[in-house]
Amino acid sequence: MSDSQTPNQLAIQESLKARIISRPNPWVGAVIVPYGFQDDPAKWISGHTQRYKGDHAEICAIKNAGDLTVNATLYVTLEPCNHFGNTPPCTEAIIAAGITKVVVGIIDPDQRVSGSGIQKLLEAGIEVEFFSDADRKSIIEILLPYLWHKKTQTPFILLKMAVTADGKTATSTGDSKWISSEASRKFVHYIRATADAIVVGASTVKNDDPELTVRYGYETELLNQPMRIVFGGVPEGSKIEPCIKFSGDIVNFLDEFKMYDFQLVMIEGGSNVAAEFMSSGLVNMIMLFMAPKIYGGNDAFSIFSGSGPKYIKDLQKGSFGAVELIGGDIKINYYTEDTVEFINSISEITRNVIADT
């Protein structure tokens, strides 16, 4: 913990520890600042959501703090729940712990919560404040798959691609190992560990024979590997087996797998599958790993196959999210237009509650 880190930032950092293990529950972080220790980070106590049906972040922090909860301030990235589910309401535990102030990141869009947690705390005489705009934006980006799934009852679709600086995903021969750095590939395994399913095309399986499993140590946190789905057939003896072979139309994809209640589906290529998902409007986010390498020709593979629009006015529009450097590569998060509108709607829900508080 850095001495310059705020309780808000520590809570956000703590939430990432739950990212792999907490699904389908949201990955939440909480920090308790005991009374009189606002300026002493060494005395702050944190907690994060445990495995499904286990303790929520607030409960973990309360248990870790013991008697230090009396007159303390609780910082939590998502509104505390106020209903009985697999665990009792977090609001009741907060009240019973003697916490006198709660600082909340964003409102939980779950209809069982959605402002009722805030209302319960206020009725108990607990002071409620909210994270800064910048911190709330970070939380929304981190929680997007949960938020999207909770509001739409459909999976959040993430397209991951490694590209050269001039936008190529493979040479003219199909060679793509490796465009991105070792550090980027390790990060991809972390993202895989958060996915319910990984989708690739038959050509990718034929050319690369990928396992598409979670490795680099992240598999130790999983109860099950993500489901592997292939668009088309799979050669006998492929490393991706066992997998599900999908031969239907892309427009039926969501209905075909609705029974699994996926929260996050990760598309890992190739360019045909990427183009199908993108043109169908199913993609929420593109995660690009841009390597400092140049192909230099026009005969290599690009992110999407096929022809694009003839005019600039017809281009699909979106917005960039987080951009960071990983192992010499630039990781860029791009959100499609529908997702940008959704992010704005989630922000508006929290703003409306803040206005009424």
Under a CB-based contact definition with an 8 Å cutoff, are residues 158 and 277 in contact? no
Instruction: Report which residue type is found at 62.
Output: I
> What is the arithmetic mean of pLDDT over 145-167?
94
Task: Give residue-wise pLDDT tens across range 284-300.
Answer: 999 999 999 999 888 88
pLDDT band of 311, cuts 50, 70, 90: very high
Q: For the sheet containing 156-163, what is the strand order?
A: 244-246, 227-231, 197-201, 264-267, 156-163, 285-290, 329-336, 318-326
In this predicted structure, what is the pLDDT of residue 131? 95
pLDDT band of 23, cuts 50, 70, 90: confident
Q: For the sheet containing 29-33, what is the strand order?
A: 45-48, 29-33, 73-78, 101-106, 127-130
∠203-204-207 over CA atoms, to 5°?
A: 80
pLDDT band of 2, cuts 50, 70, 90: low
Determine whether 241 is an active site residue: no
Under a CB-based contact definition with an 8 Å cutoff, are residues 136 and 105 in contact? yes
In this predicted structure, what is the pLDDT of residue 86? 76
* Catalytic residue from among 14, 58, 79, 276: 58
In this predicted structure, what is the pLDDT of residue 1? 56
Task: Give residue-wise pLDDT tens across range 49-102.
Answer: 999 888 999 999 999 999 999 999 999 999 999 877 778 899 999 999 999 999
Supply 115's token pair.
């402002």
Under a CB-based contact definition with an 8 Å cutoff, are residues 247 and 241 in contact? no
